[in-house]
Chain A
Amino acid sequence: MLGKGVVGGGGGTKAPKPSFVSYVRPEEIHTNEKEVTEKEVTLHLLPGEQLLCEASTVLKYVQEDSCQHGVYGRLVCTDFKIAFLGDDESALDNDETQFKNKVVGENDITLHCVDQIYGVFDEKKKTLFGQLKKYPEKLIIHCKDLRVFQFCLRYTKEEEVKRIVSGIIHHTQAPKLLKRLFLFSYATAAQNNTVTDPKNHTIMFDTLKDWCWELERTKGNMKYKAVSVNEGYKVCERLPAYFVVPTPLPEENVQRFQGHGIPIWCWSCHNGSALLKMSALPKEQDDGILQIQKSFLDGVYKTIHRPPYEIVKTEDLSSNFLSLQEIQTAYSKFKQLFLIGFPPLPPYCGSDNTATLLFSPSSAYQLPSDNSTEFWDTDIKWFSLLESSSWLDIIRRCLKKAIEITECMEAQNMNVLLLEENASDLCCLISSLVQLMMDPHCRTRIGFQSLIQKEWVMGGHCFLDRCNHLRQNDKEEGREGQDTQSKPLNLLTVWDWSVQFEPKAQTLLKNPLYVEKPKLDKGQRKGMRFKHQRQLSLPLTQSKSSPKRGFFREETDHLIKNLLGKRISKLINSSDELQDNFREFYDSWHSKPTDYHGLLLPHIEGPEIKVWAQRYLRWIPEAQILGGSRVATMSKLLEMIEEVQSLQEKIDERHHSQQAPQAEAPCLLRNSARLSSLFPFALLQRHSSKPVLPTSGWKALGDEDDLAKREDEFVDLGDV
């Protein structure tokens, strides 16, 4: 059909679009026939990956120069991804392909990255799910990483359309068994040849040793101990096999409520105060059981609250902070702001039920752009749209909560106990934020990876549920047995970046601004450690909080009440005093020069909390600044580092002339001036230097209308 250059129109009777621009005149069509056959692009399958279904002559929309092009290719669905095999990638030059992801290509959508699938029927967009009676002319896929793919199926054979559409819907939407997740077949097929460099290695926190190491690193081993009571998940499947609890806490206590009601150590501050988390005890009505719970908690509590030596403050994240629902709602609104793209169907030339498709030599043609219109329409009310999503406000509140906790630990020497129903959502979030602010180690790449491993992966964050990887609609938790977890599988870890990126691309994971802390000589270090230990043994006499000892007694009761399920919404110190302490701490920190290897507090004022443009705007061509933005300064910086490095080598060589030259310096980003602000995420560069012009105009001024009508100068020019 297509080979003849004439295609039956799916919805056929529409008039040709006047705005359609073609590269070629109709008489050229026949001469270009050969170009129509797709260039054979081979499907790259990972070990263990299987092709499930495919369709040919699918047209993928490409945005370029505020215009859309169509590119022909094959759309396939495997048990890992949806992939489009076209020839549009050949336009990239070598420099850029080095930064490509080796596992997931630019036109690949992993099945778990699919967020929403829409079909277009007669220019109407509908969400696709389940069994379809009618198949769409066009498929729109919104990805969780905010890419939007649009595939036109009008020129695809009907059987193929059916197969690919239902295949994609099935494999992205049907509930999955855990063991059917692709990684299991991948792990079986792929040889795990990861060479782990012990020095440069992410702590996985899956052994007792890892926890001991972390305790030692933070000097938490004086008051806390690593326990193996949950080895083999005997006590609880929710908790990791090994974790850390206060030294005085008897191990039997862990078993008592299947790990609930146990303060689990996250991190220790240099002054000895610790960050802990606890999952709440089950709510009970029976008075007898309540009594038992109360006395249990009393005992537990004494292990972290021993005034005047140690004081604990409880942060109940379930009742006094954001709800998961709020976060979810805000994010869904927020992400919509970046999912731009619902252009009209491809244009026709010709009439009746036959449409002639015009082919350019590159088998691409231009479509009038509508994405651009959508982009500029939302641009006028951008700030209010952002605000109404409340995403940035949520970010601010998370940061603020983490600063508050930091203040308690740093300035008031208090232990902080985070409390949440399962201690696996907001606990992970807040505790890792606090550590990022307080512990410079967490700001190294390895440290950060270890932090995620510790707080999120081992912390039992339910990634499967929160990301809905198994596509379960009914929120019944824990239905899947844990049998797979106990199997020692040699799964690949995301922290092995070489699986995904070439060495050159991996350099982009590093911040060229980061400077390691200069190492102190041994004498100095000893002195510091000594000081540190002395601090630990001192009672908190000089601390601000000591006059309020009674107050803390009160809070103990409060904590217990809370844990017993009689939730009283307000904690005692949600008073102004807390706000004052916070303000003072925050302001005084910001008035001093910053030590990048010490405590770091983010700015949380309105103008300082901005959209993370590199992530959220990265796929939007209109938002691209050609040769500009932070990318420009960063590449200048990298160039300079390179130059300094090579000079260094030259000097070294002069002294040890036989010395082998060092590893090749990365000659990144040579033509930095022309790199776009979207680099390296979106390689779709506008190669021309056409400006992007806003298409929609001015919004009403409202109350300023009378001013707008005034003239600049009050001079009558009539008689000039």
Chain B
Amino acid sequence: MASASTSKYNSHSLENESIKRPSRDGVNRDLPEAVPRLPGETLITDKEVIYICPFNGPIKGRVYITNYRLYLRSLETDSALILDVPLGVISRIEKMGGATSRGENSYGLDITCKDMRNLRFALKQEGHSRRDMFEILTRYAFPLAHSLPLFAFLNEEKFNVDGWTVYNPVEEYRRQGLPNHHWRITFINKCYELCDTYPALLVVPYRASDDDLRRVATFRSRNRIPVLSWIHPENKTVIVRCSQPLVGMSGKRNKDDEKYLDVIRETNKQISKLTIYDARPSVNAVANKATGGGYESDDAYHNAELFFLDIHNIHVMRESLKKVKDIVYPNVEESHWLSSLESTHWLEHIKLVLTGAIQVADKVSSGKSSVLVHCSDGWDRTAQLTSLAMLMLDSFYRSIEGFEILVQKEWISFGHKFASRIGHGDKNHTDADRSPIFLQFIDCVWQMSKQFPTAFEFNEQFLIIILDHLYSCRFGTFLFNCESARERQKVTERTVSLWSLINSNKEKFKNPFYTKEINRVLYPVASMRHLELWVNYYIRWNPRIKQQQPNPVEQRYMELLALRDEYIKRLEELQLANSAKLSDPPTSPSSPSQMMPHVQTHF
């Protein structure tokens, strides 16, 4: 299992391998020491600044701005501080102070980042250095506002693995045993003409014709019709996702939609009702009728049972995360940590999302009924619920590649609006479309991995690097809102996939405790007693809170693994030696037990 992993485990650099180090023969003389640079990355400017570190006070340094990153190196002898921030992470740049204020910090820049930190710099008054830095940063952090390409389109990195081949929908559906007698693959959306935010390839009930699908599409918000996400290998119940029905104030009905849901219900030959999980709080679902939306009523859908999961909307989540930042950055709230944490509601939201996903998974796993999941448009809360339920049900998604496929399928291909939610390259930091929905999902995954530390092939580092590159714009993976837009931009041809980086350095992201268990359903305990704030992500900039890396349990385990491999090798050698010279008495001067460090086992 992890026998090969030990030696590579301690090697730090994975990104360095892909970074073109400035050569000593003068090509990069403008960067005095190694400033990392990716192929395709170009230096724009460098400036002497004072970095106002919230933890260590002001530090004099030189900042280098490229078209990809902001890199700061301390110029002080007693500080080895380095900042390496992709510009994509920047959400807002503000000037602080000015001609009217005094002191060294008077000409300042305050940079708000999407990853729970702020960077503050003080610049010299002379030579318009602040204005320069402000303008250059604005230009390259928000390229879309300046008709510049996102860095992913300039990135010339090469990897020995092509991440774009990780997800192939046909293969993934085949893995699930599809198509089968009840479910077929349809190409009706090949050119995105049925639904422009859905993928080209969809799995729908065998008994529903393409015309049926078109008629159902008219009754579902943004034409996001119910399609299959996952099928239980044994009991054949399914998880189906869609958007809300267009019921409206007048309570409109649509026979095709009603029939379609009934067809879905019947695919596993069960008499029980179809379970509909509406992710929203019921009041919101009712309120949505005013704008033409709504939910499946009992009268219209006799064979369905509807439950609301009370998960709040993107605006609530955005505000909640803001509050989390307030209590952890720059200083961790001391005296009332627990009640402050509670007042952010962040973990409460996590609890509700997990609870919803557990319910979906339980319905399907117990074979009670198939499940249909939707929220309003079916690209935020719906994606969270289906992907988490699938993670609980299907151990394949708990491997590194399986998880990549899950993200690629349920999030990227089904049109989670990454561009709008993250605001890649966009300067409008107050955009109400922004919301940390994907982060919330990753947090839920982290909570699960914390509760089941042997069930996931990947480690915490894997989740963190995904989040880092969610913002960085170095890879094409999370760019744009849907598959059709990505196709128009030829993303797979013109950019590199994040999975290329990860899969060519897999060892770094492996959880040594991983024990593969097929068919094991994981139900996390969605209780506040077990949910924790993800300190290693949300408070990672604070040196005081920094956790030991790697953690001692992991470290000890790795040592044991190495020792085991050494012993196995040793034993094999001994066996060989014994069989080779059966007649000769052993002449080796030292016994292996002397040569080998004995493990301390304390038994």
Interface residues of A (CB under 8 A from B): 375-376, 379-384, 386-387, 392, 507, 510, 512-516, 587, 590-591, 594, 603, 605-608, 610-611, 613, 617, 622-630, 632-634, 636-637, 640-641, 643-645, 647-648, 650-652, 654-656, 663, 665-666, 672-673, 677, 689-694, 697-699, 701, 704, 707-720
Contact = CB atoms under 8 A, between A and B. Distances in A.
B191 interface: no
Given A381-B342, A386-B338, A693-B355, A636 B246 contact: no
A382 B545 contact: no
B526 A637 contact: no
The 7 residue pairs across chains A and B that have the minimum distance between CB atoms:
A606-B337, A717-B292, A691-B523, A382-B528, A647-B567, A383-B342, A718-B292
Contact of A689 (B310, B455, B517, B523): B523
A694 B526 contact: yes
12 contacts: A382-B529, A384-B342, A590-B544, A591-B543, A603-B545, A605-B334, A623-B527, A627-B452, A628-B454, A648-B596, A693-B359, A712-B377
A629 B567 contact: no
B98 interface: no
B602 A387 contact: no
Contact of B529 (A513, A611, A650): A611
Contacts of A656: 591
Nearest to B293: A717
B338 A711 contact: no
B320 to A, nearest CB: 8
A711 B313 contact: yes
B545 A691 contact: no
Interface of B: 218, 221-222, 246, 248, 281, 283-284, 287-288, 291-293, 310, 312-316, 319-320, 328, 332-334, 336-339, 341-342, 345, 347-348, 351-352, 355, 358-359, 361-362, 375-377, 380, 432-433, 451-455, 513, 515, 517, 520-530, 532-533, 535, 539, 543-546, 548, 552-553, 556-557, 560-561, 563-564, 567-568, 570-571, 574, 578, 586, 591-593, 596, 598-603
Contact of B599 (A384, A628, A641): A641
B333 A717 contact: no
Contacts of B570: 651
Contacts of A647: 564, 567-568, 571
A634 B596 CA distance: 25
Given A379-B529, A383-B528, A712-B314, A691 B362 contact: yes
B451 to A, nearest CB: 5
B377 A608 contact: no
Contacts of B380: 712
Contact of A655 (B310, B361, B517, B592): B592
Contacts of A650: 567, 571
Given A392-B338, A647-B568, A651-B571, A626 B523 contact: yes
B345 A701 contact: yes
Contact of A665 (B341, B521, B603): B603
Nearest to A655: B591
Nearest to A703: B319
B434 to A, nearest CB: 12
Given A383-B347, A636-B513, 5 more contacts: A507-B603, A605-B544, A636-B557, A711-B291, A716-B292
Contacts of B334: 605-606
Contact of B338 (A387, A603, A617, A717): A387
Nearest to B528: A382
A411 B189 CA distance: 71
A647 B527 CA distance: 42
B397 to A, nearest CB: 17
Contacts of B533: 607
A387 B336 contact: yes
Contacts of A611: 529
A633 B529 contact: no
B362 A709 contact: no
Contacts of A720: 218, 221-222, 246, 292
B457 to A, nearest CB: 14
B593 A625 contact: no
A605 B332 contact: yes
A648 B599 contact: yes
B267 to A, nearest CB: 24
A701 B599 contact: no
Given A383-B342, A630-B453, A654-B574, A692 B525 contact: yes
B556 A513 contact: yes
B210 to A, nearest CB: 20
A712 B376 contact: yes
Interface class of chain B by DSSP: loop
Contacts of A623: 525, 527, 529-530
B564 A655 contact: no
A704 B313 CA distance: 11
A608 B341 CA distance: 13
Contact of B313 (A515, A672, A710): A710
Contacts of B377: 712-713
A694 B355 contact: yes
Contacts of B578: 654
Nearest to A506: B603
A632 B513 CA distance: 9
Given A507-B603, A690-B362, A716-B292, A707 B338 contact: no
Interface-centre pick from B310, B314, B454, B543 (highest chain A CB count, 10 A): B454
A641 B601 contact: yes
B515 A673 contact: yes
A623 B564 CA distance: 35
Interface-centre pick from B328, B529, B532, B556 (highest chain A CB count, 10 A): B529
Nearest to B381: A712
Contact of B312 (A636, A640, A655, A708): A708
A379 B599 contact: no
Given A633-B454, A712-B314, A640 B564 contact: yes
A21 B595 CA distance: 66
B312 A691 contact: no
A644 B560 contact: yes
Contacts of A652: 591-593
Given A605-B332, A636-B454, A594 B601 contact: no
A629 B453 contact: yes
B339 A383 contact: yes
Contact of B332 (A510, A512, A606): A606
Contact of B520 (A384, A673, A701): A673
B602 A512 contact: yes
Given A383-B338, A701-B312, A666 B376 contact: no
A708 B603 contact: no
A717 to B, nearest CB: 3
Contacts of A644: 560, 563-564, 567, 599, 601
A387 B339 contact: yes
A651 B596 contact: yes
B505 to A, nearest CB: 24
B576 to A, nearest CB: 12
Contact of B525 (A507, A625, A648): A625
Contacts of A610: 532
Given A515-B600, A694-B355, A711 B248 contact: no
A162 to B, nearest CB: 40
Contacts of B525: 622-625, 692
B313 A708 contact: yes
Contacts of B567: 644, 647-648, 650-651
Contact of B556 (A384, A515, A607, A707): A515
B545 A608 contact: yes
A648 B594 CA distance: 11
Contacts of B520: 627, 673
A530 B341 CA distance: 52
Given A651-B570, A720-B292, A694 B351 contact: yes
A449 to B, nearest CB: 15
Contacts of B283: 709
Nearest to A646: B567
A383 B351 CA distance: 13
A510 B310 CA distance: 45
